[in-house]
Amino acid sequence: MSARMFGAPVQRTEDERLLTGRGAYLDDLGADAYAAVFVRSPHAHARVRDVDVTDALDVDGLIAVYTHEDLTGPMAEPLPLLLPHPCIVDGRTPHALAAGYVHHVGAPVAMVVARDRYLAEDAAERIAVDYEVLAPVVGIEAAVAAEHVVHAGMSDNVAAHLVQEVGDARAAIAAAPHRLELDLDIERSACTPMEGRGVYARWDEAGGSLRLYSSTQTASGVRAAVAAKLGLDVGRVEVVVPDVGGGFGVKIMHPWPEEVMVPWAARRLGHGVKWTEDRREHFIAAAHERGQRHTVRAGFDDEGRLLGLDVEILHDNGAYLPYGVIVPIVTSTQLLGPYKPGAYRVEFRSLYTTTVIVTPYRGAGRPQGVFAMERTMDAIADRLGRDRAEVREVNLIRPDEMPYDQGLLFQDGRPLVYDSGDYPRTLRMVKELIGWEGFAAERERARAEGRRIGIGLACYVEGTGPGPYEGGHVQVGTDGRVRVATGLTSQGQGHHTILAQIVADELGVAMSDVEVTTGDTRRMPYSVGTFASRGAVMSGSAVALAARKVREKALRVAADALEADPGDLEIAGGRVHVRGVPGAGMDLGTVAVLSNPLRYAFDEASRAATQFARPADHAAPPVPEGDAPGLEGTDFHSPLRSTFANGAHAVVVETDPETAEITILRYCVVHDCGRLVNPLIVEGQIHGGVAQGVAGALYERMAYDADGQLLNASFMDFLVPYASEIPPIRIAHLETPSPLNPLGVKGAGEAGVIPGAAVIASAIEDAEGFPVRSMPISPSDLFGLRRRFAAGEIPPLRRAERARGRRANETGEPDV
Amino acid sequence: MESDIILRVNGREWPLRVDTRTTLLDALRERLGVTSPKKGCDHGQCGACTVLLDGRRINGCLVLAVACDGSEVVTAEGLGTDGELHPVQQAFVDHDGFQCGYCTPGQVCSAVGMLEEVAAGWPSAAGRPVADTPVLDDAEIRERMSGNLCRCGAYANIVTAVRAAKEVSR
Ligand code: FES
Ligand code: FES
């Protein structure tokens, strides 16, 4: 019997190929394709008066130049509004190439195709665009003020508006014994995967079909969108996703303007065309996230128990809404975390600005929500003079209250019902891991040495694995090898490994006999995509269900051949045999042969499946009714609702009293994503998430100037951390199974990033003794806060005052 | 303007005519089909294009191909010998030192070059007196590998992998 793979820290199957550089990413394909480049707007807001391409035409090697005028039919229409939520007031989406106006720096205006990239860039440089510059709208304040509007025909910049309410929050707050109000800000950041976007298309004239390679998180989504734009039947569009060098959300957006232009041009030119994004393009023309402002009003009792919570959110969605407004919807709902808010009211306005669009970035609105809630918890604790963990504790949902209905609708339009989780235990574990109880003494000791250290804590709940569905196809070949396909795509999460683990267990085969394909519409056309931590939950469940079908059939076919009862058979080590009699059986490959009744024998193995090989039951057809030839199965997982993972992070930071440099001393994570398929992979996902969380808290922000120019559009100026910035991370797992899927798993991809800003703000605040209300925070931001604090513009934390009082008492100074 | 050059890449000699603006990275990827070095920024800011040029780690996007005439280039593809992974590559496998793999060919070339630099006694900015013989602790590894971005944030395991590779190469 082979060892169980589920739960084992199995080394990834993807490894060797990627390590030796034999991975095939988008730009590694299509060596003979023409190169495309895009001429992009240098202005945040302008009318395009004229595009003059004359000069470009003499560049040797130029193939074609296209502008909006060349586009007809659906290609000339705006790109689709992917998630048409009813809260959208006026949903504007971009055109593939600017149709008269540009609304952000980087908007594509013209496309150049040439023999190679160097020549295409040469030609693009010679295209003269005449712009009439219009007033930019940059930042939430300008968007709210609406002195200028981003889109003609609108009277303000409100793209969407939604109010959700459970109970009467405002009345509950008014009646509460204690109240407070906080303004909390998070700035823009972005995914910036190491591999940018990229598209490569080939048109097959004879077959009238398109093969499209895209560095995307959704093959099926791109397929449907491109087919619609090009007026092709989806059956004539194949989308294949090669290795993808990271996504983190930005590659779930589709179709990008470039993603429809490239195949359109390939078809028109009858030649392969490829576009790979350069780094600056990724900064100015892909997507950002995170920029959001929150006003929180809370009413609470003497223990710090929330009685009412009223949150107003202003969300900067950039120039268009092609992806809809998922981010503020997620914030609105996931802000609640593991807590019972009492009555809850949340309202958001999503605003157009003349900056690049916003689409989900790992965490997708949760980091902002958790920041808002956890800052509130800290503020409540400080107000009441209670321990921060204690205040959280009294607000937690208890395990015996599961499933817990928050009374709202989640981002998938389904009820926000937490399926399982042990939040009090999570909190206890993280306190232990970081050394919460002994920290006050540690802080005092450091202080005595002239050092400032602080501890922070943050909890979160993360809805993962939303539907509608994902599919799995499992096929056993006559060679005994198992081929598995699922439609969602992989960007480094190790999907191939965990799916192989799951199927190996279900079918009783060795993992090395399982091959997994993701994101290839030829193998699995029905799919949704990779986002919201849904790989293991959705595709894991789907391939498990499909493998169970295959197992059932294998037992049936083998039982027939072995003249045994299927109930007496088992599969192990790739062989079906009578339980307890390993000798009496046959290889799965042979079962696969037998499962496909043949007229013709073409090799030794296939003889066994011909009609002459065995005496047949003449009363039954060779393929039984309701059955199909072949040892394969397809199934889909479509859950009732999302499953909710949870966790808590704690951190100890040190802030330099002079330079305000912020250093992380310890970072601890307790994480519950249900049953772990592969702890090694989950930990890798957590490491990566924490790295991005730390980055978002301390380093990364998008610096737009008032004209809408992004000033830090490079890896030189946008500070993605290196190995030198990311601290060692201690992780402890809890495994509370989900009842919503056959594996009991929950998603793990995004968790690490979610509480980053919240937990680090909490610790810096603790070290400094004054509140931190906006993130990210750089040394110069902290330095600025210290000055304002010294000038009396920022009130001290009450606990810092009390501590000072204690110290003062000890030295005989008066209490404050 | 074009120039004729000869590049020796992973042990094989390539005569080549290049537009003088062509970077070593583009010459490798677009002209020779050696796609193991990746392009993450094209501006010397991410390290995805790191290769060994005459034994030293460099960013392929910052060097012009014409300046490499007659030089020996080793990429991640050429690190191993006889179908065996290089010890650094093996350490990345053993310690799960990557996720999407896009930064990885650059990380391993960088680690190989870095271990050579340490062996040769080169100082780093990790804060030790320059005259000291370098001791490759974690802080040194982090500092010395700080030219290679990994957006998947596999740093924790990259550090472990490099530490392990150092042990092996001793
Ligand atoms: S591509 Fe050369 S350093 Fe980024
Ligand atoms: S493994 Fe993805 S960027 Fe490093």
Grouping H, G, I as helix, E, B as strand and the rest as coil, residue B27 is helix
Q: Evaluate whether residue A180 is within a structural domain.
A: no
State in Å: Cα B66 to ligand 1 middle: 18
Same domain, A215 and A337: no
- Say what the ipTM of the complex is: 0.95
Closest listed ligand to the CA of B102: 2
Q: Which residue has the tokens 């912020």?
A: A662
As beta bridge partners, residue A243 has A25
Residue of B nearest to A197 (CA): B40
Whether A728 and A767 share a structural domain: yes
Does the residue A175 lie in any domain? Answer: no
Question: CA-CA distance, A675 to A678, in Å (whole number)?
Answer: 9
Residue nearest to atom 4 of ligand 2 (CA): B150
Instruction: Give yes or no: residues A606 and A718 share one domain.
Output: no
Supply the pLDDT for residue A117: 94
Q: Residue A603 has which token pair?
A: 């090799």
Residues A257, A124 share a domain: yes
Question: What percentage of chain A has pLDDT greater than the value 70?
Answer: 98
pLDDT in tens, A691-706: 999 999 999 999 999 9
- CATH code (residue A781): 3.30.365.10
* Residue B133: burial class (beta carbons within 10 Å; 0-12, 13-18, 19+): exposed
B76 CB near a chain A CB, below 8 Å? yes
CATH number at residue A195: 3.90.1170.50
Q: Identify the domain boundary among A603, A637, A671.
A: A637
- Both tokens of B39, joined, read 């392009």
pLDDT band at A814 (very low <50, low <70, confident <90, very high): very low
pLDDT (0 to 100) of residue A126: 97
Pocket test for ligand 2, best of B103, B108, B145 (most atoms within 8 A of CB): B103
| Percentage above 90 pLDDT, chain A | 81
Whether A154 is covered by a domain: the verdict is: no
Q: Which of A611, A637, A663 is the last residue of a domain?
A: A637
> Concatenated DSSP letters for A305-320?
-EEEEEEEEEEEEES-
A201 and A317 belong to one structural domain: no
Q: Which amino acid is at B42?
A: D
pLDDT in tens, B6-38: 999 999 999 999 999 999 999 999 999 999 999
Q: What are phi and psi of A727, to 5 degrees?
A: -80, 165
Query: Looking at the predicted structure, is the pLDDT value of residue A147 above 90?
Result: yes
pLDDT single digits (tens) A248-271: 999 999 999 999 999 999 999 999
B160 touches chain A (CB under 8 A): no
Same domain, A338 and A462: yes
User: Omega of the bond prior to A468 within 30 degrees of 0, cis?
Assistant: yes
Dihedral sign for Cα A66, A72, A73, A79, please.
positive
Walk along chain B (170 residues) and give the pLDDT tens digit of each residue: 899 999 999 999 999 999 999 999 999 999 999 999 999 999 999 999 999 999 999 999 999 999 999 999 999 999 998 888 999 999 999 998 999 999 999 999 999 999 999 999 888 888 777 777 778 899 999 999 999 999 999 999 999 999 999 887 65
How high is the pLDDT of residue A816? 31
Instruction: Give the whole-angstrom CA distance, residue A119 versus residue A126.
Output: 11
Q: Closest ligand 1 atom to the C-alpha of B46?
A: 4
The single residue listed with the structure tokens 């999407």 is B100
Q: In this structure, is residue A104 part of a structural domain?
A: yes
Within chain B, all domains assigned CATH 3.10.20.30 are found at 2-78
**Last residue of a domain, which of A238, A259, A285?**
A285
Task: Give the CATH number of domain B87-169.
Answer: 1.10.150.120
Rounded mean pLDDT of chain A?
Answer: 93
Q: Give chain A's domain count.
A: 3
Set of chain A residues whose Cβ sits within 8 Å of the Cβ of B101: 14, 18-19, 23, 243, 245, 492
Indicate whether A609 belongs to any domain: yes
Task: Indicate whether A172 belongs to any domain.
Answer: no
**CB spacing of A722 vs B147 below 8 angstroms:** yes
B76 C-alpha to ligand 2 centroid (Å) = 15
pLDDT at A645 over 70: yes
Where residue A455 falls (left for φ over 0; alpha for ψ -120 to 50; beta otherwise) is beta
Contacts of B136 in chain A (CB under 8 A): none
Ligand closest to B105 (CA) is 2
What DSSP state is assigned to residue A254?
A: -
Q: What is the mean pLDDT of residues A625-630?
A: 90
**Same domain as A798, residue A727:** yes
Ligand 2 pocket, residues with Cβ under 6 angstroms: A 194, 246, 492; B 98-104, 150-152, 154
Residue pair A200/A271 in contact (Cβ under 8 Å)? The answer is no
| Closest CA relative to residue B52, chosen from B10, B85, B84, B20 | B10
Q: What mean pLDDT is predicted for residues A83-108?
A: 97
Name the amino acid, one letter, at A645: A
Structure confidence at residue A488 as a pLDDT band (50, 70, 90): confident
Q: Which of B49, B98, B108 to probe ligand 2 with, by most ligand atoms within 8 A of CB? A: B98
Answer yes or no: do A648 and A627 share one domain: no
Q: How far is CA A36 from the centre of its chain?
A: 28
Which amino acid is located at A487 in the chain? G
Q: Which residues belong to CATH 1.10.150.120 in chain B? A: 87-169
Predicted model pTM: 0.94
The residue segments making up the domain with residue A482 are 470-637
Q: Are residues A310 and A263 in the same domain?
A: no
Note whether residue A51 is domain-resident: yes
Judge if A477 and A533 occupy the same domain.
yes
- Report the distance separating Cα A475 and Cα A480, nearest Å: 10
The superfamily (CATH) of domain B2-78 is Beta-grasp domain (3.10.20.30)
Chain A residue nearest residue B93, CA to CA? A15
Same-domain check for residues A125 and A217 = yes
* Residue in A619, A297, A645, A628 with CA at minimum distance from that of residue A465: A645
Phi-psi region of A398 (alpha: psi -120 to 50; beta: other; left: phi over 0): beta
Between the alpha carbon of residue B170 and those of residues B57, B87, B113, B114, B164, the distances in Å are: 20, 11, 15, 14, 10
Pocket of ligand 1 (CB under 6 A): B 39-42, 44-49, 59, 61
- C-alpha–C-alpha distance, residues A395 and A161, integer Å: 29
Asked if residue A524 belongs to a domain, the reply is yes
